[in-house]
Structure 1
Amino acid sequence: MKKSHITLLFVYALVIVFSIVTLILDSFHLSIKELVNNVEQLNQLIFSIVLLTISLTIMLLFVSMLLNYNSHRRIFKNLRRIVHNQPIEAGEDELSQMMMQLSEKTQSLTQQLQRTENVDLAKKEDIIQEERKRIARDLHDTVSQELFAAVMILSGISYSLPTIDRDSLQEQLKNTEAILTNAQNDLRVMLLHLRPTELEGRSLKQGLEMIVQEIQDKSTITVTFKTNLKTLPKPIEDHLFRIVQEFISNTLKHAKADHLDIYLHQTERSVQLKMIDNGVGFDVEEAKKISYGLKNMEDRVTDMAGSFQMISAPNQGVTMTIVLPLVGEYNE
């Protein structure tokens, strides 16, 4: 309790004591002059007044503390109910009205958060389902069909082995080998695409060098990789890593290219990613309507407040340019 409140209670007690003393003096027809002349009665009166004043002050303090305790208890009870999203007890005073408004806002924010999380979960589930469908479709359209064709050829060879001549046998075995090689390459492309988005403790440069080495070891495409990267924030590294994976996957799967260039250039205020292949190219506007991967790359760049440009045409290869701003602590 504040000192001003205690002082106010003491003054209030003095006023009550003064009123009681005046009432007593009037009741017994005593005067101040008579009391002054009788020292013993005056001392007794003064002692009684002081004792009464202290008693009243203590009583008022106790009553005030009790009221304060009940008020705090009611506030804590309402706060506890607010934390647990339970309705609170309404009151007529200003504090109760403010608590009621706080309870309503808390419940509203909780409902909005739940709706947002539910929407995010639904979107994630949709993305997972779309990825599963895409993987199943890719497996069916590439690896599964190629393996089926290889099995049919080998079955035909096995059936006609006693009558088939050596040249035909050699030609069909070469065809089977080519089909199985294509299936193996398609499977590698899918595994590359499904690599985790996290760099697993590596820097972006180290992660990309690992992918480039893997491509050169397991495919016939030539890759040029040049960079002057320094330090980038982890979210930007993860996004760029995933974008590079997506572009490489599309190049290996669709472009029929024999050369791929990857350039990463970092300045004080931005980082630029440029990727070029010399493949068959495609119509960019048409691809945007049906390509989930292309839209995914563009959405990632948008999330990072960057600019995205994809240039291509049939038989003209593909050029992708991405520029991301570096602000605040990221450019130090």
Structure 2
Amino acid sequence: MESEASQIILIVTTIIIITFVIFIILLFTVFQKRKNSLLELQAENKKRFEREISETQIEIREETLRNISWELHDNIGQLLTLAKIQLQNASSENIHEVSETITKGLTEVRALSKLINPEAIKNIKLREALQLEMDRFNRLKFINASLIISGNEHIINEKSSIIIFRILQEFFSNTIKHSKASNLTVELKFGSINLEITAKDDGVGFSSLDNKPNGIGLENIKNRAKLIGATAVFTSEENKGTSLNIVYKL
């Protein structure tokens, strides 16, 4: 009887041990699969992020080239033409006007050179890039633009800066092309944990997102914001302008 009892105990113990081992193996297998899936997802997200950064840099470069084209044609070209006309009719009485026109043209060329510099795009710093945009809008009289900084300024991740700048650039483009606005204000509000960015115009606006002008690219902006852990929210009211609010975790 004792021998049979021992055998039963041995069999039961063996079954329990085998079951436990199988359970551990299955648990490890499931864990490993989930780990591999997570690693693959992280790798894919990283690739997508890097791809988005590359595409954004290309878009910024293309937008910059368009801006350069406009400035050469509509601003510097006109200044050079004016200088040529003034030189043809130059006299001791109006030579100072020629000098002023040429000086203004040189100033415009220097400002334009900042846009051409590839390092300014590659190593973009958000505040400086936005200030260049505001200065350009004002210089070319596209719109009355201003940049406001509040709070203790923090250094922003370079890649995040690129994404944020491109998002704002899309908003600026829409404002100038479609909104018929007179004023554009951008505020960077630095908090202890967040950077809140508000871009606002006083244009025609729109009554609903269904009626938004082409070019706002709302979904594109939201998706880009998600890539850097930020949120982007549009608000607009017909004849009362449009605003974009971005909240980015520092």
For the aligned pair, the TM-score class normalised by the smaller chain equals 0.3 to 0.5
- Please report the TM-score for the alignment, with normalisation by the length of structure 2: 0.48
The structure with more helix, counted as a fraction of residues:
1
TM-score computed with the length of structure 1 as normaliser: 0.39
- Rg larger in structure: 1
